[in-house]
Amino acid sequence: MLLSQPQISTEAIALAQLIASMTEATSESEIYTTFVDLLPQILPIERVSVNLLNSSRQDLEIVALQGIEAQMPRGTKIPSDRLVSARTLETRQTQIEITDPQSSFVDSAKLAETGIQKLISTPLIVHKQAIGTIDVGVCLPDTDTQKITPIILQVVGLMATQLEKSFKIEQAQATVDRYRLYSEQLQILNDIAYKLSSLMSEGEIFDLLAQAMVDNFPLQRVSYAKLEPDGKFIRVFKQVGDNTILTNALLPVVHSIFAWVVEHNQPLISSDLDRSIYNAHQILAASGFKASWSVPVLVGGEVIGVLNAATTQSQVNIDELRDCLLTLGRLMGATIERIQMQEQAAGVLRANEARMLALVDDSPLLLIVVNVDREIVRVSRFGASQLGYQPENLVGLPFSSLHPESDRPSIKSYLDQLLEIEGGEISHQEVNMSRCDGKRIWARQTARKIYNPQGEPEILFVCEDITELRSLTAKLEHQAHYDNLTQLPNRTRFNQALVDTIFLAQDANQEVALLFIDLDRFKSVNDILGHLVGDRLLNSVAQRFTQTLRSSDLVARLGGDEFVVILPQVKTIEGVAIVAQKLISQLEPSFTISDREISIGCSIGIALFPRDGQTPSNLMKNADIAMYEAKKQGGNSYFFYQNTLSEQISTRLTLENYLKDAIANQELYLVFQPQVNIITGQVEGLEALLRWEHPILGNITPATFIPIAEENHLIEELTNWVLQQSLQVLKKLHQHYHHLCMAVNVSARGFTASDPLDRRISHLLTEYELSGCYLALEVTERFFMENTARSAEMMANLRKQGIRIAIDDFGTGFSSLTYLADLPIDTLKIDRSFTKDLDTDSRKKGIMSGIVAIARSLKIQCIAEGVESQTQLIQLSSLGCHQYQGFLFSKPVKVEHLPAILEPDYRQLRGTEAGEHGSRKDRYSSEL
């Protein structure tokens, strides 16, 4: 008979809506707003507010409010020591206050004036730190605060969990933003460097830099001051923004902000102008500026000026801006130095051909003069040596011959253009040049049309070797977008690739598959063999993945043992499944690393665009969910995302949060099922079974909450509670029933917990003055198959204390006679699937007979589970199984009903009823 479904109250629906809404919230403020909007729909309250401590932790600010304001609207800031919340924050416990107009607490007095009679103040604790309080006001005097307070605590606990997740997401986003900002700043500096190469005056240089600084950085004032020849004064050459300090103002260097910069060739940074000792800083502070930077501009190793910048914003990254401005200062100095040298060279060329020739010969630059025939007529000795030549070897050669053969047509065309432009114009390009030994260098060529004494046009090239600069830029670009370990694209590069792929798929009306891959058993490799072996294993995995995929596919490493694959232009789901299986198969051959054979697998979650998500973030989230489903199915498999998974995850998160508080809220309890001697009818033992009754969700089955507890490391706490409660019951029962034993189910995780199981049990046995021979631990046979060495050692320690070991549900796993013979096992609990139909199915009777015979030969006791009829009991007795448990004798009962079923009269009655009425299956199935 099915249990009738309970009517769901409006409050329960509102609670579910609140849980779902907070789970879906994407920001801290949205979590707070959702909480205060929906909590009054659940509880009979007239006011609810979220109050957060400020940075000094002295004041509380009301950041979200619903209900009566009581002269304390949203945004109100009140010293925390004047509020009831002060006790809440100090004790980190919920406070219930009867409001009083005469109270010294501001909130109590003001709320009392509006009719609120009770104030419930609960601490909001995130990452183990109290960040504020949740205050709830109640007007009706008969409102049961003791009843609504646990619900408030549960919902506040859920809010804290969501806030922790929100903060982690914000931290991850901040990391992505830093990478993006770094890339943007790198691009800005590259653009500025390129534009500077065409400028020919300090004024143009400053204008370009100042505009770029104001446009791309939080700066409102930029100026450049040039050092006077005597070094005692400095003149404001040019500025952009505030002109409190006038252009052309002549300022003494001594005792000024410039003295430090000039003397030490170091930047001067002031993060708080109001506290600066310098007069110029005080003038800027009076105009509203908060921070300033002054960096040296050097030419030939000497300071020739100071580049200054200031901001009116108080929240800026001081160090980041310092590094950018230092780079700009160096670029400015290098450009000025280049202009000075070019002007010097051009002046000499214009004045005298002979002097020009001497300058070319002796110049420390790569200078080349090309005639109208596109041939080299002059080259500096230094320049020729850079290319591995003597000057005389280059004269007469085509200028294009200094470049790779593939570039020569474009070089010839470029020379034609230069000869046609007006004299004095400057042209720039970055190209490859060929050395004598065949190696190539990157060169920035600055070209200008000149005339020789005969009036014939020529082209003067000033070439700068930028190979190292290009290499550094390329290296920085690579580091920003590729994983240092595997050289696969990193998270930043992957995110951009996913955005681009989705954009193209939308235009072409195509599907995209996203595969989220997590390696199975990788953590064990890292923990046992070390991170060096783990890193080499990740490299090998990356190589196998790369070899499996098409050139149009992309595989990236997100970090740790997580990889992602983008498959564009998906034609069929079957094709995606084939690729996923190939990736799994690639890991099947073991890896040989440091003379060790290592075997791992992978779990793959698959989400398809646009079916499973139309944005990169949704696609990633759903692929991640699918990957965890693949892991739940045993790993080394793939799983396609399904819409129901999101609902399951939401439900699972809700149960996880409730389970954390289940012990404290006394929602857990034990029931006990007798283990009976078939021959004597005496109850020889009890099996303790855990149950959970939630105040809102009702009874939740162990099959639902035990896996959640194992995955979230709550199983150790539950196991401790069950052991403590069951031994406490056994101690009381021994006052009248000295022979009784207690059987407790233990998860496999219990054997591998941080606090060893044998030590925990030893402490409890000592506490309750019980011998270990009265305790049996039940584990499944799958645990023995997977943890033989570790489990044998642990069980040996338990056996030394007299504790018995039982295999639960025997016969349902991959049974092995080896571990039955090798491990210290006392009892086999034969699964109910073999007991069922034992009296009518000869095959099951044969299997049962074989199990009992093996157990007898190994001197292992047998207990048959699920016995429901007298005929089954007779068959078990004839086969030599002498102990059973099941509904024939009793269903699992609470502790207060145990004395009744332990009395001889009850045992005699159960035997009589079984003989008269046969199977109890129909009668008890509905109770189960």
Average of pLDDT values for 550-556? 92
Average of pLDDT values for 821-837? 83
Tokens read off for 896? 């207060």
Does position 284 have pLDDT exceeding 50, yes or no?
A: yes
Least confident of 366-375, 472-481, 755-764, 807-816: 807-816
Does position 10 have pLDDT exceeding 70, yes or no?
A: no
Give the full edge-to-edge strand order of the sheet including 268-270: 250-252, 233-241, 221-227, 302-311, 291-299, 268-270
- Please give the pLDDT value at position 359: 60
Residue 272 contacts by C-beta under 8 Å, 6 or more apart in sequence? 290, 291
Question: In this predicted model, what pLDDT tens digit does every residue of 560-603 receive, in sequence order?
Answer: 899 999 999 998 888 899 999 999 999 999 899 888 888 899 99
Does position 412 have pLDDT exceeding 80, yes or no?
A: yes
- Please give the pLDDT value at position 918: 34
More confident residue, 858 or 535: 535
Does position 912 have pLDDT exceeding 50, yes or no?
A: no
Q: What is the 3-state secondary structure (H, E, C) of 210-272?
A: HHHHHHHCCCCEEEEEEECCCCCEEEEEEEEECCCCCCCCEEECCCCHHHHHHHHCCCEEECC
- Please give the pLDDT value at position 174: 65
Does position 356 have pLDDT exceeding 60, yes or no?
A: no
Does position 429 have pLDDT exceeding 90, yes or no?
A: no
What is d(CA 865, CA 884) in angstroms, rounded to the nearest whole number? 6
Residue 352's pLDDT band, with cuts at 50, 70 and 90, is: low
Does position 782 have pLDDT exceeding 80, yes or no?
A: no
Question: In this predicted model, what pLDDT tens digit does every residue of 890-910 receive, in sequence order?
Answer: 999 999 999 888 877 565 555
Question: In this predicted model, what pLDDT tens digit does every residue of 378-402 receive, in sequence order?
Answer: 888 877 887 888 888 888 889 888 8
Assign residue 767 a region: left if phi > 0, alpha if psi is -120 to 50, beta otherwise? alpha
Does position 353 have pLDDT exceeding 70, yes or no?
A: no
Q: Is the pTM of this model over 0.75?
A: no
Does position 234 have pLDDT exceeding 80, yes or no?
A: yes
More confident residue, 150 or 243: 150
Tokens read off for 849? 């007979």
- Please give the pLDDT value at position 354: 53
Does position 557 have pLDDT exceeding 90, yes or no?
A: yes
Residue 914's pLDDT band, with cuts at 50, 70 and 90, is: very low
Question: In this predicted model, what pLDDT tens digit does every residue of 286-338 receive, in sequence order?
Answer: 989 999 999 999 988 889 999 999 999 988 888 888 888 888 888 888 888 88
- Please give the pLDDT value at position 632: 83
CA distances from 5 to 121, 137, 698, 699 (A): 36, 34, 11, 12
What is d(CA 418, CA 437) in angstroms, rounded to the nearest whole number? 29
What is d(CA 399, CA 371) in angstroms, rounded to the nearest whole number? 9
Domains, the chain, with CATH or none: 10-171 (3.30.450.40), 198-342 (3.30.450.40), 361-458 (3.30.450.20), 482-642 (3.30.70.270), 668-910 (3.20.20.450)
Least confident of 80-84, 120-124, 306-310, 827-831: 80-84
Mean pLDDT of the chain: 83
The DSSP element (H or E) to which 776 belongs, if any, is strand 775-780
- Please give the pLDDT value at position 503: 92
- Please give the pLDDT value at position 306: 93
Residue 606's pLDDT band, with cuts at 50, 70 and 90, is: very high
Most confident listed range (200-214, 444-458, 806-820): 200-214
